Structure 1
Amino acid sequence: MKNRFLKGGIAIVMVLTTLAFTNTKKEVDVDASTIKWKGEKVTGSHYGNIQLESGHIMMEDDKIVGGEFVMDMSSIEVTDLSGENKAKLEGHLKSDDFFGVENHPTAKLVITSAASKGNGVYGIVGDLTIKNETHPITFDLKMNGNKATTEVTIDRSKYNVRYGSGSFFDNLGDKTIYDNFELEVDLKF
């Protein structure tokens, strides 16, 4: 009888422990989520959108512990231009001068760690892969229910995206394109 109670007690403790530390995978609604980009050059800036192909955040006890996001680089869209200029810039961004989407159709972010900073803000550390180049990246992510937002600055030169970069080419003058570009991310789950 004692043995049966002991085994039953151990089983209950194991079940409760498993439930207390369960991971939840929150899938991103890619149709409702947005990624806006902005790139700057000496004479101005351009901006547009990139579509999210897939993504999820891993939660443990309602806290972020990981995640993975895949961006469809062939979806790069310019929204500040129209007509021939829009088509020309979109084609150039998709070419090997920039993101080479024919050979590198996706970019990926893998969250390697997350630390709560309070009030739904997390310090995120991840690995970002663009054009088969992977580098660590850090940023803050704000979680609010079934929504997450962040702004990320990326140094394109680290990912072999060097066209018009003053860091690699001399005498570009007003044709210089700054290395950093910004992403404004609005995720819905």
Structure 2
Amino acid sequence: MKKTFKNIAILALISVIGTAFTTSNIEKKSVKVEASQVIWKGYKVTGSHEGTIAIEEGTLTFDNDKLVGGEFVIDMTTIANTDLEGDYKSKLEGHLKSDDFFGVESHPTASLVFTEVTPSGKNAYDVTGDLTIKGITKPVNFTMAIYGSKANATLKIDRSEYNVRYGSSSFFDGLKDKVIYDEFDLVADLQF
């Protein structure tokens, strides 16, 4: 009995000492929103459009320089088009902000919260996160690369999952060459 108690005491002591030497250095780094950029690209049968959208705020969380988390808020009111000019540009931006698409009056922000981060190579991470658009939250998966104080990621998002229905063949028949594809891309270049 004394030997068993002694062994348990030694194991407990080793655990405490081992924990004392294992340091966790959690650090949240704020994303420099003015120096960062998010580009969107949407596709339709007859071509594509692209533009930018602003990050309202964001953080990346590191443990001993390894990415372990992140949170972002996107300002949906800043949706801008960069491949058109004049009236066409204004009309597209207005339409994207309307209830046909992202309904920014009712839903001025979108968010992304990392739920799982797994190293997948040198400076690369496989990320799963909860993306919320128009009050609807769905999981997304993507790869993020970190180089010094910069990060980049490309996300492919299915807008139909967030009740963005306009021109979607998932919801409407007979659209022919008026179809706007459900998937769109977001490319984020971040500085922190």
Same fold (TM over 0.5): yes
Alignment of 1:123-134 (within 5 A): 123-134=126-137
**Aligned match for 2:124, one of 121, 124, 130:** 121
What residue in structure 2 maps to residue 155 of structure 1?
158
Structure 2 equivalent of residue 31 of structure 1: 34
1:172 and 1:89 mapped to 2: Cα distance? 19
Match of 1:58 among 58, 61, 66: 61
Q: What is the root-mean-square deviation of aligned Cα atoms in Å?
A: 1.5
Q: Which segments of 5 or more consecutive residues in structure 2 lack a partner in the other structure? A: 1-12
For the structure 1 residues 128 and 18, does the alpha-carbon distance in structure 2 shift closer, same or farther, using more than 3 Å as the test? Answer: farther
How many pairs are equivalent? 177
Match of 2:76 among 73, 76, 81: 73
SS at match of 1:20: coil
Distance in 2, Cα, partners of 1:17 & 1:30: 37
Name the counterpart of 1:40: 43
Q: Which residue of 1 aligns with 2:176?
A: 173
Deviation at 1:119, TM superposition (A): 1.0
CA 161–62 in structure 1, closer or farther in 2 if over 3 Å, else same: same
The change in CA–CA distance for 1:70 and 1:178 in structure 2 (over 3 A counts) is same
Q: Where do 4+ consecutive residues of structure 1 move more than 6 Å?
A: none
| Residue aligned with 2:100, SS | coil
User: Taking structure 2 as the reference length, what is the TM-score of the superposition?
Assistant: 0.89
**Correspondence 1:185 to 2:159:** no
1:85 to 74, 85, 88: 88
The aligned residue for residue 7 of structure 2 is none
Cα distance, 1:121–1:46 mapped onto 2, change above 3 Å:
same
TM value normalised by structure 1: 0.90
Question: 1:63–1:83: structure 2 CA closer, same or farther, 3 Å change rule?
Answer: same
State the distance in 1 between where 2:70 and 2:145 align.
Answer: 14
User: What CA distance in whole angstroms lies between the structure 1 residues aligned with 2:176 and 2:20?
Assistant: 63
Give 1:101's aligned amino acid.
Answer: V
TM-superposed CA distance for 1:22, in Å, is: 2.2
Tell whether 2:99 aligns with 1:96.
Answer: yes
Q: Which residue of 2 aligns with 1:6?
A: none
Percentage identity across paired residues of the two chains: 55
